[in-house]
Structure 1
Amino acid sequence: MTWAALIPLARWARPLFNSVWSFRGCWLTAVSVPGLLKESAMSVPFEYTPIAQSVLDECEHLDTASLSDALDSLGIDGGLPGIVSQVPGTRCVGIAFTVQYQPVDASEGFRGAANYIDQVPSGSVIVSSNSGRHDCTVWGDIMTHFALANGIKGTVIDGVARDIDTVINCNYPLFSRGRFMQSAKNRTQLKAVQVPLVMDGITIQPGDLMVCDGSGCVVVPQQLTAEVVRRARAVEQTERRIIKAISSGSTLEQARMTYRYDQPWLSEAEHGGTQVPS
């Protein structure tokens, strides 16, 4: 099956995964959050292929701009608009562990917002949706220290965070819509973990690849990571060649044409077998 045939299938399949998922070896299993969901989640396991460690390692050397260009070439939007780094100079690469919040029901007792974090596997990037709220936080100093002590790679929030001075001093990768000091206690509560999230029209599935840096956050569908990384690598190589050419006196137009800036992921065979000098 060609990549062109696979992309529509991937787009069709992603919205179907609408339960709560947790890692169980090579399976993700639907689970509920005890005491927090009024209805039990489905319990329908589906086969899950983890992202290869070699792909994760390679992403440590790729920026979000290149990955975004690679996703564009496949017709996929992966950038999360408005979510920016709160700790300059940090980046993270890891597997999405998703968290969904909801407003507190005033008729219920105390509700905290951090009761999920003991479940998060090492190597994860926590992706939290607080529906973009700016009036209460879902991340602070205690969770930052826990994340660092347990191998969590970073946190992405559709909302705000607090204790930013501590987070900066810890050099922890935190990406959010802003900063605010007001607690989530009795304002927002955990609804579910390991469910698909939608942020500004972008779907994040549990198990997707998350890469975040100074330019923002990109989500790569887990079934497409190898191809996206291959194309992103070609994007960066092409840009290095263009920079080298213009530094040697070439016009930008000529350099872009020579090195196929419009489609840098094309193979050398598709270029007629010509080796482009590095």
Structure 2
Amino acid sequence: MKMVGYPRSLWLMSALLVACHFNQPVRGQNGAGSEVEELRKGRHFIPTQVYPESEDARLLRLFAGLRVADVSDGMDKAGLSHVGRMDPDIRPLWTDVRTFKHRIVGIAVTARYVPTQEPATGPQSTEAFDRWMGTWYRDRSSEPFVSLLRPGTVLVIEEHGHDVGSIGSNNILVWKQRGCVGVVTSATARDTDEIAAQGVPLYFRRPGRGVRPGRNEIESVNAPIVCGGVLVRPGDIIVADGDGVIVVPRARAEEVAAYARVTLEQDKAARRNLYKALGLPMDPSVESAP
């Protein structure tokens, strides 16, 4: 058979791959434990690596005070210009341009919530509604990641376009109490006035009003997710400020941080000279690292 407009070499390769696929033995059609049946149960192909808290602390020291712009330059130097920069629509809920308390440098803990397929509940009595809410939170849309939060972690949530406030003023304080230094989500949060007043760094797409029951379910914790259009793996370095959010693959973190640090200090030195020439008072943005 002649394939018009299709190189013969590619046609032969495709034919060979198809033949190999269909000639593979089908395992376990008459028995349990086959590879096919195991795959039917679902499988993550990107493993989650576990890191000691001491190693997290060491990397956080390397990134302390670095800005998204500095880290972006470090990513370019490492050949990662196509990696890690979240969609610019993921923005800080609030900013502090005096002491920069809205900035985040931390280690990713991840969670993924998915839209539910369960039907919406109709009108209920207060007692029945509260019972339904509690059951949903317990069985379908809980927060199993809380036990993973420790000093220096950033909670990164993958969630999609429904109008739900998985993040609110109460639970974000619980996460902060566990040591979480900030939260990043691909979707929404509610109680945004209170979150800003509480001073917990939050990067999100827009406000969401509804609660989780009847809207979403927890799908995975500390597995690879996509947030703001980029891959986030547990243990990656998260840096966020007024320029947005960037994710540094952990395997390249030291190289990225080293270049970013030089970039930052050179920028501070140049701006200090300009401050002096312009008679501007010095501020934290031009102070040298201790």
Place the TM-score, normalised by the shorter chain, in its bin. 0.5 to 0.7
Q: Deviations over 1:145-182 (max 9, x none)?
A: 20122111111000010001211121001110011222
Q: Name the residue aligned to 2:86.
A: 80
State the Cα RMSD in Å: 2.8
1:113-149 deviation line (CA, Å, top 9, x unaligned): 3422432221311100113x15222100221120122
Pick which of 197-206 and 225-234 moved more: 197-206
Aligned counterpart for 2:172 among listed residues 144, 148, 172? 144
Question: By percentage of residues, which structure has more strand?
Answer: 1
What is the rounded CA distance, in whole Å, between the counterparts of 2:192 and 2:44 in structure 1? 37
Change (3 A) 1:220 1:135: same
Q: Corresponding residue for 1:111?
A: 136
Using CA pairs below 8 Å that are at least 6 residues apart, which structure has the higher relative contact order?
A: 2
C-alpha distance in 2 between matches for 1:49 and 1:210: 15
Amino acid at match of 2:109: F
Map of 1:138-177 to 2, 5 A cutoff? 138-177=166-205
**CA apart distance, 1:213:** 1.7
Structure with greater helix share of residues: 2
Asked if 1:120 corresponds to 2:126, the answer is no
Measured in 2, the distance between the counterparts of 1:68 and 1:191 equals 31
Amino acid at match of 1:143: N
Name the counterpart of 2:159: 130
- TM-score for both structures, normalised by structure 1: 0.67
Deviation at 1:237, TM superposition (A): 2.3
Where 1:181 maps in the other structure, the secondary structure is coil
The residue identity in structure 2 corresponding to 1:75 is G
Q: CA deviation at 1:200?
A: 4.6
- Quote the offset at 1:219 in angstroms: 0.7
**Do 2:86 and 2:246's aligned partners in 1 also have CA atoms closer than 8 Å?**
yes
Answer yes or no: is the 8 Å Cα contact 1:104–1:111 preserved in 2: no
Task: Give secondary structure in 1 for the equivalent of 2:136.
Answer: coil
Q: CA deviation at 1:246?
A: 6.3
1:254-274 Cα shifts (integer Å, max 9, x gaps): xxxxxxxxxxxxxxxxxxxxx
Which structure 2 residue ranges, 5 or more long, are not aligned? 1-39, 97-101, 121-131, 278-290
Map residues 252-267 of structure 1 onto 2, 5 A cutoff: none
Percent identical pairs in the alignment equals: 25
Matched, 1:95 2:104: no
Q: Is the 8 A contact 2:164 2:211 kept in 1?
A: yes
- The whole-number CA distance in structure 2 between the counterparts of 1:99 and 1:248 is 47
Is 2:240 aligned against 1:212? yes
Change (3 A) 1:243 1:118: closer
Distance 1:242 1:134, change over 3 A: farther
Matched residue, 1:58: 62
CA–CA distance in structure 2, aligned partners of residues 94 and 114 of structure 1: 23
* Distance in structure 2 (CA, Å) of the matches to 1:145 and 1:52: 22
Matched residue SS, 2:209: coil
Post-superposition offset of 1:92: 1.9
Gaps of 5+ in 1: 1-37, 250-278
Change (3 A) 1:60 1:177: same
Contact 1:160 1:176 survives alignment (8 Å): yes
* Structure 2 residue identity aligned to 1:236: L
Distance 1:97 1:52, change over 3 A: closer
Deviations 1:78-102 (A, max 9, x none): 2211111112221222111111111
Give the letter for the 1:67 counterpart: V
Contact 2:48/2:233 (CA < 8 Å) preserved in 1? no
